[in-house]
A and B are shown apart, each in its own frame.
Chain A
Amino acid sequence: DVKVTQSSRYLVKRTGEKVFLECVQDMDHENMFWYRQDPGLGLRLIYFSYDVKMKEKGDIPEGYSVSREKKERFSLILESASTNQTSMYLCASNRHLEAFFGQGTRLTVV
């Protein structure tokens, strides 16, 4: 069974903390994505990567950075968490048309 695994289902962090969200896929996919999901706004693309050490900004990259040191792992970094980054974060990977998603990390910044 193909799998995208996000390291945490729920996280609570304080304003100003540096936050790492980890994502691992076991399908040898080239492309990996980070989205955030907020009610009424659908999934908004933060960053994506199509190869190791390669990254591209999505639609809302401000306040975030990413790291892709290995093909199977794509990390999302909140340099200094703020309350407006409270959201559901979804990681996905694909090679061709179908994207496979992790179960999401619900991050609350207090």
Chain B
Amino acid sequence: TQLLEQSPQFLSIQEGENLTVYCNSSSVFSSLQWYRQEPGEGPVLLVTVVTGGEVKKLKRLTFQFGDARKDSSLHITAAQPGDTGLYLCAALSGSARQLTFGSGTQLTVLP
């Protein structure tokens, strides 16, 4: 099982600030995903990255996959209260059947 470590565990910031959360592993990922979970709901996929060095943008969110495919980051520009939620990274095993999640970053954006 690939161990995914996320940091920070908690993050509380003011509206308009920028932030970055990280997902790291000692293993090489075949692909990596970021999900967001709101209270009372299941996680929802934000993005999948598959190529080392890949950068994907989703409005104010920028996702980066490390060159060695062992780490990833999520950067949010000008955070808004609607960005509040639990951000989870996830990776597929070599068989692409088992999806393993990190422990998550709980983000709170204060108005």
Contact = CB atoms under 8 A, between A and B. Distances in A.
Contacts, number: 61
A97 B101 contact: no
Contacts of A98: 33, 45, 48
A45 interface: yes
Interface residues of B, number: 25
A92 B104 CA distance: 17
Interface in B16-46: 31, 33, 35, 40-45
B41 A41 contact: no
B104 A42 contact: yes
A97 B42 contact: no
A25 to B, nearest CB: 12
Interface of B: 1, 4, 6, 9, 31, 33, 35, 40-45, 48, 88, 90, 92, 97-104
